[in-house]
């Protein structure tokens, strides 16, 4: 560059974008640089409400268009999380801003939902593998993480209405600590499975029961 090139008047500053609040900060930055007009923001806000009404309709089986404030707030968070999930897969902030400006919110939400549903299915599959390859003589934090925390998280998680939900873990021995969204939960389970790899399973946990020791094989089967 010779110093005479002009910077695009619509260039988005990545430092003003927060991946944890992507759609909102992206819209604010797009307004700041003149990429979004006031009419664009009004349309996006109105379409967000329409998409939220669709989620409420799903959650209530189509029987109601309104829910308690706390529930509506949670559904709105799930809506935004799914939208953010999809926007973050696009090749650039400019491409994400264009999608946010020109496409329906229910469409963006739907694409994010598909991604998080796949993550959820992956998490359930990985959790089952981790359960049945658990470490011998594992500490209490390890067993609680598998048998209680992941069980409860996966039992209540819904990529449509609670996509933003986190699992809170503390496993100092394994270097795992913090709050994880569904994508982070998948990575934690992969790490636990890697820790278990090649180790024989010592217990089988039957859902809703205490761990049951595996029976050791006898030298020979008895005749009936």
Domain termination site, one of 84, 112, 140: 112
Does residue 1 form part of some domain?
Answer: no
Tell me the per-residue pLDDT of 158-209, one tens digit each, with 9 for 90 and over. Answer: 999 999 999 999 999 889 999 999 999 999 999 999 999 855 545 444 444 4
Please, what's the b/e burial string for 21-55 (b: 16 or more CB within 10 A of its CB; e: otherwise)?
A: ebbebbbebbeeeebbeeebeebbeebbeebbeeb
Q: What is the pTM of this model?
A: 0.81
Averaged pLDDT, 22-37: 96
pLDDT-derived band at 68 (thresholds 50, 70, 90) equals confident
Contact 140, 111 (CB under 8 A): no
Q: 67 with 98, same domain?
A: yes
Q: Is the pLDDT of residue 220 over 80?
A: no
pLDDT of residue 193: 94
pLDDT of residue 66: 67
Q: Structure tokens of 57?
A: 């309709």
Averaged pLDDT, 29-57: 95
Domain termination site, one of 112, 138, 154: 112
pLDDT of residue 215: 37
Task: Provide the domain count of the chain.
Answer: 2
Q: Is 214 helix (H, G, I), strand (E, B) or coil?
A: coil
Does residue 22 form part of some domain?
Answer: yes
Please, what's the b/e burial string for 178-210 (b: 16 or more CB within 10 A of its CB; e: otherwise)?
A: eebbbebbbebbebbeebbeeeeeebebeeeee
Average pLDDT of the chain is: 86
Range of the structural domain that residue 56 is part of? 14-112
Residue-by-residue DSSP string for 108-130 = HHHHHHHHHHHHHHHHHHHHHHH
Distance CA 164, CA 125 (A): 20
pLDDT of residue 59: 84
pLDDT of residue 69: 84
Q: 183 with 197, same domain?
A: yes
Q: Is the pLDDT of residue 67 over 80?
A: no
């Amino acid at each position: 560059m010779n110093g005479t090139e002009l910077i695009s008047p619509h260039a988005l500053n990545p430092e003003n974008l927060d991946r944890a609040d992507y759609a909102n900060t992206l819209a604010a930055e797009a307004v700041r640089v003149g990429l979004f007009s006031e009419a664009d923001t009004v349309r996006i806000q109105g379409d967000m409400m329409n998409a939220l009404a669709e989620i409420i309709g799903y959650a209530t089986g189509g029987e109601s268009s309104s829910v308690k404030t706390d529930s509506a707030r949670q559904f709105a968070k799930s809506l935004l999380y799914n939208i953010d999930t999809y926007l973050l897969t696009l090749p650039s902030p400019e491409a994400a801003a264009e999608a946010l400006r020109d496409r329906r919110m229910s469409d963006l939400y739907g694409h994010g939902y598909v991604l998080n549903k796949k993550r959820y299915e992956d998490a359930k599959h990985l959790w089952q593998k981790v359960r049945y390859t658990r470490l011998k003589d594992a500490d209490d934090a390890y067993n609680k993480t598998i048998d209680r925390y992941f069980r409860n998280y996966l039992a209540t998680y819904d990529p449509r209405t609670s996509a933003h939900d986190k699992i809170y873990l503390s496993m100092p021995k394994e270097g795992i600590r913090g709050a994880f969204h569904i994508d982070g939960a998948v990575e934690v389970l992969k790490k636990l499975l890697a820790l278990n790899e090649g180790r024989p399973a010592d217990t089988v946990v039957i859902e809703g029961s205490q761990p049951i020791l595996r029976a050791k094989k006898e030298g020979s089967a008895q005749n009936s």
